[in-house]
Amino acid sequence: MNPPRAPRSLWRHARIASFDGDRPWGWLDDGALLVEGDRIAWVGPDAALPAERLTGGGPLDEIDLGGALLTPGLIDAHTHLVYAGDRAAEFEQRLQGASYEQIARAGGGIRSTVAATRAADDEALFTLAAARARALMAEGVTTIEVKSGYGLNERDEARCLAVARRLGRELPVAVRTTSLGAHALPPEFEGRADDYIAEVCRWLPGQQAAGLVDAVDAFCDTIGFTPAQTRRVFDAARALGLPVKLHAEQLSDQGGAALAAGYRALSCDHLEHLSPAGIAAMQAAGTVAMLLPGAYYFLRDTTLPPVAALRAAGVPMALASDHNPGSSPCLSLLLMLNMGCTIFRLTPEEAWRGVTVHAARALGLGDRGRIAAGLRADFVVWDAGHPRELCYRFGHNPLRRRLFGGMPD
Ligand code: NIG
Ligand code: FE
């Protein structure tokens, strides 16, 4: 049996921020969008709608948007969505003066989430992750990247990746999976980080053969892994033809961004302590800077990522929620739009490109993140007149309709 075909639909009189072409915002003041199946068939000024495209080809559902805003579906390109438990007690400890690093070194932090995740069965992990994914989707997200990294053994890493894959099968959202075995040292490997890295490298071929992994990530930092250990993980990824990305320069400058750029990393993420040399290497490699204001805010960081220098160098900047229980228990990409502007001083257009076209690039996906003919029909209609309104307000969700592959929710 053929899967049900999304109906043909024509969306008229929209203000469209397409993020396509050279115009600011890819702006169309009175635009129209024709959807056929799961693709955008035509987009342009409403007055230029080609009549011949509208006849034939089956029934056409026509919707007059009356000047409402239409944008690409949002892409959250850095999340740790699959885990059990929470870290509210750790939050309280931090309020009493303990630092994120101190808690991690004392065996809490990521390790406490690993214990809770290992103890949860597949169904529990799926239920928790699905609720988080739905919260993101309710704000217009149509593609989510999901990392492992709270299993930290062969079985539990594979389980977490399988849960992420299941999200993409059972919910109307696209999921890209990232293997992050090199997230933290599990307690059973205490004092043997090099041995643990050998294990992480050993798991990758099996994860790939099972169709569980689209990319490979690591946490290169004082409480994570060294550049040399990161390099071993990346060599293993490269041997399998898997793209890499890196949690780089979050708490200190390890030279991780330049290292990752040497592997043509899709993105380097966090980057509060990024050096000029790191920026130059990312620029040369075409690596996306993934900015994570939720973690910056929640850890009460005081070193800002070098946004002005990234901008001057022409490094594409993306924005993501970094949803995770320790450093960013945030399920709002709209809030990241606001924080990207207020805290990181992105322009509203940069922030928007960060959750659309540049987020797609950070996932290596050329078929989404813009409104253009031939791309996936993942888009959102908002009760707003201009996208800058969504950067300006916070705690406010003006979503009217979300379309995933041409299918409305
Ligand atoms: O992206 N920096 C490392 N990983 C996560 C935090 C993980 C955690 O604290 O559970 C991050 O911030
Ligand atoms: Fe992260």
d(CA 250, CA 254): 9
Looking from the CA of residue 250, the nearest atom of ligand 1 is 2
> Do 127 and 111 form a contact (C-beta atoms < 8 A)?
no
89 C-alpha vs ligand 2 centroid, how far in Å?
20
Torsions phi, psi for 67 (to 5 deg): 90, 5
Does ligand 1 come within 6 angstroms of the Cβ of 244?
no
The candidate with the shortest Cα–Cα distance to 128, out of 193, 81, 94, 66, is 81
| pLDDT band, residue 54 (cuts 50/70/90) | confident
pLDDT band at 303 (very low <50, low <70, confident <90, very high): very high
331 — pLDDT class (breaks 50, 70, 90): very high
Q: How confident is the model at residue 107 (pLDDT cuts 50, 70, 90)?
A: confident
Task: Report the predicted TM-score, pTM, of the whole model to 2 decimal places.
Answer: 0.97
Q: Which atom of ligand 1 is nearest to the CA of 295?
A: 12
278 CB less than 6 Å from ligand 1? no
Which atom of ligand 1 is nearest to 110's Cα? 10
What pLDDT band is residue 1 in, cutting at 50, 70 and 90?
A: very low
d(C-alpha 215, C-alpha 104), whole Å: 26
Regarding the beta carbon of 71 and ligand 1, being less than 6 Å apart is answered: no
Closest CA to 180 of 163, 200, 165: 200
Please compute the mean of the pLDDT values over residues 264-282 and round it to a whole number.
Answer: 98
3-state SS of the chain: helix, strand, coil percent to 5?
Answer: 40, 25, 40
Confidence tier at 57 by pLDDT (50, 70, 90): confident
Determine which helix (DSSP H) or strand (DSSP E) holds 243, and give its type and residue range: none
Q: What is the position in ligand 1's atom list of the atom closest to the CA of 109?
A: 9
Q: Give me the sheet containing 267-270, strands edge to edge.
A: 74-76, 141-147, 174-182, 215-220, 245-248, 267-270, 288-291, 317-319
Cα 67 to averaged position of ligand 2 atoms, centre (Å): 37
* Structure token pair of residue 79: 């999340």
Burial 370-405 (b: 16+ CB within 10 A, else e): bbbeebbbbbbbbebeebbebbeeeeeebbebbbbb
CA–centroid distance, 322 to ligand 1, in Å, is 8
Least confidently predicted of 2-6, 238-242, 324-328, 402-406: 2-6
CA of 110, nearest ligand number: 1
CA 324 – ligand 1 centroid, Å: 6
Cα separation, 180 vs 314, whole angstroms: 28
319/362 Cα distance (integer angstroms):
10
Tens of pLDDT, residues 343-386:
999 999 999 999 999 999 999 999 999 999 999 999 999 999 99
What's the Cα-to-Cα distance from 280 to each of 266, 284, 312, rounded to whole Å?
A: 15, 6, 11
The residue to mutate among 87, 247, 270, having the most atoms of ligand 1 within 8 angstroms of its beta carbon, is 247
Of the ligands numbered here, which is closest to the C-alpha atom of 225?
1
Q: How many CB atoms sit inside 10 A of residue 228's CB? A: 11
Burial class (CB in 10 A: 0-12, 13-18, 19+), 1: exposed
Q: What is the pLDDT of residue 5?
A: 52
What number is the average pLDDT over the span 18-41?
Answer: 97
For a pocket test of ligand 1, which of 76, 83, 110 has the largest count of ligand atoms closer than 8 A to its C-beta?
110
β-pair type (8-17, 69-72): parallel
Q: Is the CB of 247 under 6 A from ligand 1?
A: yes
Q: Is 112 in the pocket of ligand 1 (CB under 6 A)?
A: no
Q: Say how far apart CA 337 and CA 357 lie, in whole Å.
A: 14
Question: Burial level of 280, CB count in 10 A (0-12/13-18/19+)?
Answer: middle
Residue 304 CB burial class (10 angstroms; 0-12, 13-18, ≥19): middle
DSSP string, 193-218: HHHHHHHHHHHHHHHHHTT--SEEEE
**Of 88, 156, 89, 154, which is closest to residue 119 (Cα–Cα)?**
156
Q: Is the CB of 178 under 6 A from ligand 1?
A: no
CA of 283 to the centre of ligand 1 (A): 25
Rounded to the nearest angstrom, the distance between the alpha carbon of 257 and the centre of ligand 2 is 15
| Cα distance between residue 228 and residue 377, in whole Å | 42
The number of beta carbons lying within 10 Å of the beta carbon of residue 67 is 11
If you measure from the C-alpha of residue 154 to the centroid of ligand 1, how many angstroms do you get, rounded to a whole number? 20
Ligand showing the shortest atom-to-Cα distance for residue 146: 2
Ligand 1 atom at minimum distance from 100 CA: 9
Residue nearest to atom 3 of ligand 1 (CA): 219
Distance from residue 268's CA to the centre of ligand 2 (Å): 11
Classified as helix, coil or strand, 342 is helix
Quote the pLDDT of residue 332: 98
Contacting residues for 97 by C-beta, under 8 A, at least 6 apart: none
Residues, CB-to-ion distance under 5 Å, ligand 2: 322
DSSP state of 31: E
Average the pLDDT over each of 103-117, 226-240, 297-311, 390-404 and give the range with the smallest value: 103-117
348 lines ligand 1 (CB under 6 A): no
Q: Work out the end-to-end distance of the chain between its first and last CA atoms, rounded to an integer number of angstroms.
A: 23
Query: Does 324 sit in the ligand 1 pocket, CB within 6 Å?
Result: yes
133: enclosing H helix or E strand:
helix 122-137
User: Does 272 score more than 90 pLDDT?
Assistant: yes
